[in-house]
Structure 1
């Protein structure tokens, strides 16, 4: 798995409609109006936030590789396009199994909980109650202490039960062998420390970037399996609050509460001391994520259907191109239509 291949998949879906760094913002999980809309417009939820701390240098390396390979090119206005060679190569790429939209980096917290839980159980089982925890985060330590409270962690039967439960979900999930090797080698226990990225790289003959991506994808697969199961009694406890409970940003959720309370956009902006453009971003989020969003409060249904038809005809989600076709509509109204078109707000799903 290569970062460049994931990037090419992302760019191929936004082909000719966004700049080169829109892909970076999406992989990092940037909560801007543009990025959140791109996720929905171009069916990119899987990749949203899969690497929140991805460095610009690594991203640029991937971009340069794709350019040198003849897979894409960048126009003067930084709009990125995929070449015919790139399109052919994209068709050979695998279907990735990320679920970034639901986890947004929280899968790392889940793994920290799992790692510390296993380390604690394995040490207590052999009577070693004094050990240096591998996870230094206070919230993780507190969480693990709470779920292990009053559990028979010094009993062999308990540790066997947890081991068998973890083994069952790893084996029955959609993980490939490489996912399993990386995940299990990252775990430690009594007298054993988890492998570093460099150790895994040396052993597997893969670069650390690829290993990190496999690691994240494997965690998403495991979390999805636990989410769907009703039998993972203990391991499900470790997934508490890992999957996002609402797809709106916190600020957009606050705006939504004010709106549902009867306030106008202008009043909300004044109360919250925010720019109207920020409030418009919030409403665009709402149109995407709220199936009951009252789209026709902002734009006539005739215009809604006309914009949707034109977007499909032109095969575009670029606001400027659509605005040229509907001069009487504002950019904000078109954003709401495109949002509801993908998210299903009111008439947008008809």
Structure 2
């Protein structure tokens, strides 16, 4: 697993309808209307926000590697296309188990809690109550402090109970052997320090960034198991409030609240002192994420059915092409239809 292979998978799904940097914004989890639309339209939720700190330099290196290898090519419109050899490579890649849409980087909060919990129990079990915490942030420390309040953290039986939960979770997750090594070796304990990405890369014969990607995917696998398991009570507490509960941005939620009170789009823009285009972005986001979105308030059912049919016929979601077909509809109306009726789950 590496950034280039993930990027190639994204490009294959975008199918020549976006520039290369659509992948960059997607991986970083940009909350713009365009990126949020792409996530839904092209079935890319799994990759959304898995690399919130990805640099443009690192991204460009991965993109250049794909170009130089003949796996992608840019057209005159700067939209990137996958070549036949690239498509063949994608077919041979493993199915990734990322779940970026649901976690959006919060899997690292989960691991911060988990690693501090393991370190604390390990030290207390050994009779060491004074140690330098592996996690420095106040939120993680406060969370673990409250979690362990009045718990028998010095009792070896309590340590065995936690270790067994983690073992069960790892086994159920379907992690490969490398991911199991990465996950366990990143943890710290009594007189034991978690390994760095460089150390793990040297040990496994992998690039450090590939190790990091395997780690993120492994955390997502763990969290899916924890969410569904009734017998992993300790880990369920560690994972509390990690999964995203609402998929709208804070600003879009405010727009939704005003819309639910009966305000028009124009009135909402005035009330919030925002551009009309920004409010339209919020409505498109609402159309994507709310199954009950009242699409018929903005466009007739006949037009909805006609646009959906055209999307299937020409196999494209490019607004410019659809606008040529439906000149009487605004770009905003077309975006609403695409969001509500032509996403990957529609």
Q: For this structure pair, what is the TM-score category when the shorter chain's length is used for normalisation?
A: over 0.9
Summarize the Cα distance change of 1:342–1:247 in structure 2 as closer, same or farther, 3 Å threshold.
farther
- Aligned residue for 1:313? 313
Q: For the Cα contact (< 8 Å) 2:17–2:318, is it kept in 1?
A: yes
Once residues 40 and 104 of structure 2 are traced to their aligned partners in structure 1, the CA distance between those partners, rounded to angstroms, is: 15
Instruction: Report how far residue 122 of structure 1 moved.
Output: 0.7
Please show how residues 59-74 of structure 1 align to structure 2 within 5 Å: 59-74=59-74
Q: For the Cα contact (< 8 Å) 1:40–1:339, is it kept in 2?
A: yes
Summarize the Cα distance change of 1:15–1:343 in structure 2 as closer, same or farther, 3 Å threshold.
closer
Please show how residues 1-350 of structure 1 align to structure 2 within 5 Å: 1-342=1-342
Instruction: Report how far residue 343 of structure 1 moved.
Output: 5.5
| Deviations 1:252-300 (CA, angstroms, capped at 9, x unpaired) | 1111111111111111111111111110000001101100000000000
Once residues 294 and 104 of structure 2 are traced to their aligned partners in structure 1, the CA distance between those partners, rounded to angstroms, is: 28
| Deviations 1:110-134 (CA, angstroms, capped at 9, x unpaired) | 0000000000111111221111001
Instruction: Report how far residue 15 of structure 1 moved.
Output: 1.7
Summarize the Cα distance change of 1:342–1:231 in structure 2 as closer, same or farther, 3 Å threshold.
farther
Once residues 153 and 2 of structure 1 are traced to their aligned partners in structure 2, the CA distance between those partners, rounded to angstroms, is: 39
TM-score, normalised on structure 2? 0.98
Summarize the Cα distance change of 1:343–1:90 in structure 2 as closer, same or farther, 3 Å threshold.
closer
Once residues 86 and 187 of structure 1 are traced to their aligned partners in structure 2, the CA distance between those partners, rounded to angstroms, is: 37
Q: For the Cα contact (< 8 Å) 1:26–1:49, is it kept in 2?
A: yes
Q: For the Cα contact (< 8 Å) 2:115–2:187, is it kept in 1?
A: yes
Structure 2 SS opposite 1:140: helix
Q: For the Cα contact (< 8 Å) 1:252–1:282, is it kept in 2?
A: yes
Unaligned runs of 5+ in 1: none
Instruction: Report how far residue 76 of structure 1 moved.
Output: 3.4
Q: For the Cα contact (< 8 Å) 1:12–1:87, is it kept in 2?
A: yes
- Superposed CA RMSD in Å reads 1.2
Q: For the Cα contact (< 8 Å) 2:42–2:343, is it kept in 1?
A: no
Instruction: Report how far residue 75 of structure 1 moved.
Output: 2.2
Aligned residues: 346
| Deviations 1:208-258 (CA, angstroms, capped at 9, x unpaired) | 110010000000000000001111111100111110001111111111111
Once residues 238 and 272 of structure 1 are traced to their aligned partners in structure 2, the CA distance between those partners, rounded to angstroms, is: 38
Q: For the Cα contact (< 8 Å) 2:41–2:343, is it kept in 1?
A: no
Summarize the Cα distance change of 1:85–1:15 in structure 2 as closer, same or farther, 3 Å threshold.
same
Structure 2 SS opposite 1:234: helix
Structure 1 SS opposite 2:92: coil
Instruction: Report how far residue 77 of structure 1 moved.
Output: 3.0
Once residues 266 and 128 of structure 2 are traced to their aligned partners in structure 1, the CA distance between those partners, rounded to angstroms, is: 62
Q: For the Cα contact (< 8 Å) 1:97–1:220, is it kept in 2?
A: yes
Once residues 289 and 342 of structure 2 are traced to their aligned partners in structure 1, the CA distance between those partners, rounded to angstroms, is: 9
Once residues 306 and 251 of structure 2 are traced to their aligned partners in structure 1, the CA distance between those partners, rounded to angstroms, is: 31
TM-score, normalised on structure 1? 0.97
Unaligned runs of 5+ in 2: none
Once residues 174 and 203 of structure 2 are traced to their aligned partners in structure 1, the CA distance between those partners, rounded to angstroms, is: 23
Once residues 281 and 221 of structure 2 are traced to their aligned partners in structure 1, the CA distance between those partners, rounded to angstroms, is: 32
Moved more, 183-192 or 73-82: 73-82
Once residues 76 and 107 of structure 1 are traced to their aligned partners in structure 2, the CA distance between those partners, rounded to angstroms, is: 39
